[in-house]
Amino acid sequence: MLSSTAMTDQDPFSPQILALLDRAAAFCATRASRLTDTRRLVLGLILDSSKPVGAYDILDHLRQYQRNAAPPTVYRALDFLLAQGLIHRIERMSAFIGCAHRLECHHGHGCGHRAQFLICSGCGAVSEVEDSEISHAIASAAKKIGFKPHQSTVEIEGLCAICQQG
Amino acid sequence: MLSSTAMTDQDPFSPQILALLDRAAAFCATRASRLTDTRRLVLGLILDSSKPVGAYDILDHLRQYQRNAAPPTVYRALDFLLAQGLIHRIERMSAFIGCAHRLECHHGHGCGHRAQFLICSGCGAVSEVEDSEISHAIASAAKKIGFKPHQSTVEIEGLCAICQQG
DNA sequence: TCGCCTTTAGTTATATTATAACGACTGAGA
DNA sequence: TCTCAGTCGTTATAATATAACTAAAGGCGA
Ligand SMILES: [Zn+2]
Ligand SMILES: [Zn+2]
Ligand SMILES: [Zn+2]
Ligand SMILES: [Zn+2]
């Protein structure tokens, strides 16, 4: 959720988020892409949430800082962040989540990673994993039928460890 | 695509589709669920397409036979068909496709199968596979982190064998 | 500094996908 | 017959996403 602490019109984010945003800016710099104010703000709002957030939720929050933000404002920022691999779209939820790996990745440019998502239907939390068995199984299944995979969506819905206890 | 042959207001489907619809009706009978006229028509329209079809595409076609069909008409039928496992929803496309396995399944009631989908970005065709390596890898990855999976979405986008040649 | 070009953003309108809510009808069984 | 659950008709609206056009900003060479 959005932290109400340390939230001003000038600088809405916690030091932790600010650090991530700095890394994102540095990452963009290496790719000659521009993390503009709006894009940075949208990324911050996404990173600041413990759950995936919808485009219109982002828009509502964004309007606290940019009075005239409109749907295209948000969708353009999301398109950019998706293209940079800084966020992911969760298809089953039509919502967006920060990439748990991108800002830690040291593999160099264009390191597109194969992520999978575990969606808890109890608490709504989504965890991102990179499981090579799944990736390999997918690549292998595709190869079997002569299909050349480019990108894959793996979203597993169920109950997280915590919600299984409740 | 919808076949224009053998298409009348009374009986819009080819013998091949009619046979599948009969099996679907028989399947529903075993589950004490009712494949009503509208549901049957919607299923037929989906089965008659070589690609996933959107709800509003279905609605357009449905209106040829039911003048007053409206969005809820289609979505109610889709909800039913999804619940029976007779169709699947392709999340990345917000579209629906007939289940390639349900009508051939002899495993008895509630045989929820673990399907994966290969989506060709060249021709739009979607093939459904049941790959146990993928299913096992997913189950195993979930178990690793104490997550109890209930259902999973696997959608692989890329180029089919045919489109790789073009 | 200037002009030129590309990228980004503002703005309005609209498209696309999906659901809420309520009343009427139907058919099975008490 | 009465009642109940399930289904459907109908209207309205919610939620998600994009088109199209204009304006501003930023990079870059002359
Ligand atoms: Zn990621
Ligand atoms: Zn949970
Ligand atoms: Zn299937
Ligand atoms: Zn193809």
B5 shares its domain with B59: yes
For the segment B26-37, what is each residue's pLDDT rounded down to a tens digit?
Answer: 999 999 899 999
For residues B16 and B60, give the distance between their C-alpha atoms in angstroms, rounded to a whole number: 22
Interface contact B153-A116, CB threshold 8 A: no
Query: Which ligand sits closest to the CA of B126?
Result: 4
| Residue B166 binned pLDDT confidence (cut-offs 50, 70, 90) | confident
Q: Which residue is listed with tokens 């919607």?
A: B42
Q: What is the DSSP letter of B145?
A: T
For residues A68 and B80, give the distance between their C-alpha atoms in angstroms, rounded to a whole number: 42
Q: Which nucleotide is nearest to B89 (CA to C1')?
A: C17
Q: Please report, rounded to whole angstroms, the spatial distance between the CA atom of protein residue A68 and the C1' atom of nucleotide C10.
A: 8
Among B71, B101, B131, the domain boundary falls at B101
Interface contact B161-A140, CB threshold 8 A: no
Kindly report the average pLDDT of chain A as a whole number: 90
B30 shares its domain with B65: yes
Q: What is the CATH number of the domain that holds A1?
A: 1.10.10.10
For residues A112 and A124, give the distance between their C-alpha atoms in angstroms, rounded to a whole number: 26
Among A75, A101, A127, the domain boundary falls at A101
B108 inside domain = no
Query: Which ligand sits closest to the CA of A130?
Result: 1
**Out of A121, A151, A154, closest to residue B154 by CB:** A154
A106 inside domain = no
Shortest Cα distance, chain A CAs vs residue B120, angstroms: 8
- pLDDT for the residue numbered A12: 81
CA distances from A150 to A118, A140, B121 (A): 21, 13, 9
B18 shares its domain with B90: yes
Determine the distance separating the centroid of ligand 1 and the alpha carbon of A127, expressed in angstroms: 10
Answer for the pair A163, A120: CB distance below 8 angstroms, yes or no: yes
Taking chain A, what is the end-to-end CA distance rounded to the nearest angstrom? 21
B63: exposed, middle or buried (Cβ count in 10 Å: 0-12, 13-18, 19+) = middle
Q: What is the DSSP letter of A53?
A: B
Q: Please report, rounded to whole angstroms, the spatial distance between the CA atom of protein residue A114 and the C1' atom of nucleotide D4.
A: 52
Answer for the pair B116, B154: CB distance below 8 angstroms, yes or no: yes
Interface contact A155-B152, CB threshold 8 A: yes
Kindly report the average pLDDT of chain B as a whole number: 90
CA distances from B134 to A156, B97, B115 (A): 12, 21, 9
Dihedral of CA atoms A104, A108, A112, A114 in degrees, nearest 10, equals -50
For residues A7 and A1, give the distance between their C-alpha atoms in angstroms, rounded to a whole number: 13
Nearest to B145 by CA among A144, A23, A162: A162
Interface contact A138-B159, CB threshold 8 A: no
Shortest Cα distance, chain B CAs vs residue A124, angstroms: 13
Structurally, how many domains does chain B consist of?
Answer: 2
Pairwise pLDDT comparison (A69 vs A2), residue with the higher score: A69
Query: Which ligand sits closest to the CA of B100?
Result: 3
Q: What is the CATH number of the domain that holds A140?
A: 3.30.1490.190
Nearest to A98 by CA among A74, A119, A128: A128
Distance of CA A59 to the CA centre of its chain: 16
Taking chain B, what is the end-to-end CA distance rounded to the nearest angstrom? 21
CA distances from B49 to A58, B21, B62, B96 (A): 37, 14, 13, 10
pTM of the model: 0.91
A31 shares its domain with A90: yes
A107 inside domain = no
Give the pLDDT mean for A125-152: 97
For the segment A79-103, what is each residue's pLDDT rounded down to a tens digit?
Answer: 999 999 999 999 999 999 999 888 7
Report chain A residues whose CB lies below 8 A from the CB of B82. none
B152 inside domain = yes
Domain that holds residue A21: 1-101
Q: Which of B117, B152, B165 to mutate to test the interface with A (most CBs of A within 10 A)?
A: B152
For chain B, percent of residues with pLDDT exceeding 90:
82
| Residue B12 binned pLDDT confidence (cut-offs 50, 70, 90) | confident
Q: Please report, rounded to whole angstroms, the spatial distance between the CA atom of protein residue B139 and the C1' atom of nucleotide C21.
A: 40
- pLDDT for the residue numbered A106: 57
Residue A146 C-beta-side C-alpha neighbours within 13 Å:
6
Residue nearest to nucleotide C10 (CA to C1'): A68
Interface contact B116-A138, CB threshold 8 A: yes
A60 shares its domain with A119: no
Model confidence at A7: pLDDT above 50? no
For the segment A107-125, what is each residue's pLDDT rounded down to a tens digit?
Answer: 544 466 899 999 999 999 9
- Amino acid in the structure at residue A77: A
Answer for the pair B101, B112: CB distance below 8 angstroms, yes or no: no
Q: Which nucleotide is nearest to A75 (CA to C1')?
A: D17
Shortest Cα distance, chain B CAs vs residue A140, angstroms: 9
Q: List b or e across B120-136, with b for residues whose CB sees 16 or more CB atoms inside 10 angstroms.
A: beeeeebebbebeebbe
**DSSP per-residue string spanning B114-154:** --EEEEETTT--EEEE--HHHHHHHHHHHHHTT-EEEEEEE
> Which residues sit with Cβ closer than 5 angstroms to ligand 2, an ion?
A 120, 122-123, 160, 163
B73 shares its domain with B49: yes
For residues A89 and A99, give the distance between their C-alpha atoms in angstroms, rounded to a whole number: 10
Q: Give the pair of three-digit tokens for residue A39.
A: 């894009």
For the segment A13-49, what is each residue's pLDDT rounded down to a tens digit?
Answer: 999 999 999 999 999 999 889 999 999 999 999 999 9
Pairwise pLDDT comparison (B113 vs A55), residue with the higher score: A55
